[in-house]
Structure formats: structure tokens, C-alpha cells
Amino acid sequence: MPLPAAVLKGMEEFNRRDFFEAHETLEDVWAEENGAARIFYQGLIQVAIGCCHVQRGNLEGARHLLAAGQLKLQAFAPAHLGIDVKGLLEGAARVEDEARRLGPEGLAAFDPGLFPVLRPATSGGGVPSSTPPSASAPPRPPAGP
């Protein structure tokens, strides 16, 4: 099933680093969802707004929202609804680590090239699913050699 137009628009905004607008667009989708999809979109929104806080120099807001978004999205890795969640999680962790390293006074020097990009899942990156794995499921083994 293709992603709704609003999600595609939110992804484009996110990838242009227009994180506030991506948050606004995705929030409209989130408001119409329930269950696992609602949690998934909330995680995307939190990562987007966390990146927005980095852009605006708000370290505490960035750390809080990036961590909350990652926590929600972990259950959906490696991919969900055709989106590369694993790559997004890696990117969000990179942003959080660099923001922490720079500290509140150094956040203006944040390299925007470190912001994550929302990408489609690759054919080997996991089958898009409609629900996250069960919290009681055993952890997945590491991929390949």
C-alpha cells in the first residue's frame, strides 16, 4: 500500500531539513491514526521536532525529543510502512550524540550534514509491516557476517 500524500510531503519537508513543517504535516496524519501507526508517526514527529530544536539551539529540547522518538521507533526497525527506520534511528542517534558533544554553547556549529534523511526501505532492509514486533518477542540476531 502506498504512503498517503501527506506522509510523502512530510518526508520531503524532513529531507529538506524543514523539520518544523515536517512535524506539522505529519501531525495531521498522526491525528487520524490509532494503534501502532499512531505510535510510529509520533516517533517520526518527535525526531523531526528534535532536529528542529537542534537548528534553534535548544539542546535540552533536542535531547528529550530525539530520545523519545528513538524509543518509539525502535519497535518498528528495520523498516515500517516502506520507510527505512533503522537508518533513521542511526541518524537520530548521531544528531543526539553530536548535539550533546557540542553542548548548548556550541550547538550553532552543528553540521547540518549530520541530520538524518527519511529514505524508502531497501528490498533487503526488512518487509514493511503494519504492526511492530511484540515487546515479548526475542531480540533479532545481528544481520549477516
Q: C-alpha cell of 141?
A: 540476531
Contact 125, 86 (CB under 8 A): yes
Considering the chain, what is the average pLDDT of its residues? 87
Distance CA 115, CA 94 (A): 8
Domains present along the chain, CATH in parentheses:
5-107 (1.10.3450.10)
pLDDT digits (tens, 9 = 90+) for 8-61: 999 999 999 999 999 999 999 999 999 999 999 999 999 999 999 999 999 999
Please, what is the Cα angle at 119 between 22 and 75, to 5 degrees?
Answer: 85
DSSP secondary structure string, 33-50? --HHHHHHHHHHHHHHHH
Distance CA 101, CA 9 (A): 32
Contact 114, 93 (CB under 8 A): no
Contact 68, 83 (CB under 8 A): no
Q: Average pLDDT of 129-142?
A: 36
Q: Is the pLDDT of residue 140 over 60?
A: no
Q: Average pLDDT of 93-105?
A: 97
Res. 123 pLDDT band, cuts 50 70 90: low
